[in-house]
Structures are given as structure tokens and as C-alpha cells.
Amino acid sequence: MTDIIIRKKTRAYDLLDMLVKIGKLRYEPPIDIYAIAKELGCDISYISESTEIVGEIKVSAGQPTIIINKTNNYTVTRERFTIAHEIGHLCLHIAPKGKHAYGGFADTGESLKRSAFWDAREYEANTFAAQLLMPKDLIIEYGQEIVDEYIREFEHKMPFTDLVQELAQQFEVSRQAMEYRLKNLGVVK
């Protein structure tokens, strides 16, 4: 763990910036979510249970632990998003302040979706996860490179679905997460 101090409402961009500045993270896709968790002092443990729980973050005596249910995190992209989501809860809603901090969140598949389910803290953690794994400036930079290369090779406009697929692979996120992020950024409508 580094000397990174996070407080409630630490933004994803600020966290990335801090880690890059101190040399603990390379600012390129895919963002190393496991390194971020480690630098924040998070232990990651895995369970395999038939429950609705996808992931949890618990802070006990100032020690954050992320719990990943492998039964419900069946792909690397799902696991990476779940870890980023739990880090979002830590940075936005818990932010341990010393050895006496306690708190936690348990997330189901429904709370991780952007659907009819609505909880402000879950929405904030999802947004944080998207910003952490798919920073806007990197999406634009790498997206432009992909589009330019495609046009050079095929001499016509790149289909949106192909762009989503390429970016999703590069950033190690699901196609759905990348498509949502691109729409959220206003890259497409």
C-alpha cells in the first residue's frame, strides 16, 4: 500500500492521476484495476456461492476487503468492472479514515446494472467504475487511432459495432459497458 489518502467523494480521474503521478500506474489501456486495489490497500478475496451477491466491499478496522463471487463474475471483464465498482464505493461512500473505519456494500447483479433499479450510491459507483476503467481522454485517443487505422485499411467509415468491439477488447471491458460509455460521453447517440 502507498501513502495515498482518499477521502469520501474522491473522483476516479483524481485517483488515476494520483497513481500515475507517483509512478504506481501506467496510464494506458487496459487500466490495471488490480494494481489500483493493491495501492488502496484492498485485499481481494474470492468466493463461489449460489447467491445474488456479485461483489462486496467491507471495511473493518480501516482495512478494506473486496469480495468477488466467482459464480456471478464469470468473465474477466465482469470481474474487472465489479472490482472497479467496489473501489467506487470505497472512494465515494466509505473512504477509510484510519484504523477505526467501518462500512460496506454488497452488490447484486441488479445493482450493478443501469436499469430500472435506482439507488444513487449504486449509480455513482457504476459511473466511477466506468470512468476508472475507461477514462474519457484514453477512449478518445485510442478510439481515434482505431478509426484512422480502419479508414486507411478499408477506405470507408468504420461501423460503430466494430469500434465498440475494438475498444472493449483494448480496455478489457464488456461490449455493453463500452457502448454505454461511448454514448454517455456523447461520442455517439
Contacts of 178 by beta carbon, 8 Å cutoff, 6+ apart = 134, 164, 167, 168, 171
Q: How far apart are CA 181 and CA 164, in angstroms?
A: 10
Q: What is the pLDDT of residue 187?
A: 81
Cell 502507498 -> residue:
2
Q: What is the dihedral of CA 166, 170, 174, 180, to 10 degrees?
A: -70
Residue 116 predicted with pLDDT over 60:
no
Structure confidence at residue 109 as a pLDDT band (50, 70, 90):
confident
Closest C-alpha among 129, 9, 41, 13 to residue 80: 129
pLDDT one-digit tens code per residue, 124-157: 999 999 999 999 999 999 999 999 999 999 999 9
Q: What is the pLDDT of residue 99?
A: 56
